[in-house]
Structure 1
C-alpha cells in the first residue's frame, strides 16, 4: 500500500483513529459487495491498477466520496 493513500485521507479526516475506523468500515462494505465510488486508477500504460479494498476506501475518503458524522455522546 502506498503511504500517500493514508496521508491524503488523513488530510481530509484529520484524526487517525477516526480514519482507521472509517476506512475499515468502508473496506468491509466493499468486501460485502458495495461498488467502489471511484474509477479504477491506471498506470502509465493505461492498465488498471490492482488495489485492495482498503486502498480503494482510502482513495474514496481522500476524494471526499466517503464521509462521517461526529455524534456527541
Structure 2
C-alpha cells in the first residue's frame, strides 16, 4: 500500500489510482488544447478583426484558472 501521488489518498496497489492517472491525462490534454487556441486562430497577428464576443470567449478560455481539489 502507498499514497497516490495525484489524489494523496491510500492506494491498495503500489501505483497511483487508474482513474487519477486518466483524470490527469485529460487535464493535460485540455491544457495543451487551451494553450494552442491562439496559435490555431492566428491571434498573434490581428485580434481586432474578431468580434467582442469572440475575444471575450477566447480570453475566458485562455485564462489560468485556480484549480481546487474537490476529491471526495
TM-score range, shorter chain: 0.3 to 0.5
Q: Going by fraction, where is strand more abundant, 1 or 2?
A: 2
TM-score, normalised by the number of residues in structure 2: 0.35
Q: Which has the higher contact order (CA 8 A, sep 6+)?
A: 1
TM-score, normalised by the number of residues in structure 1: 0.34
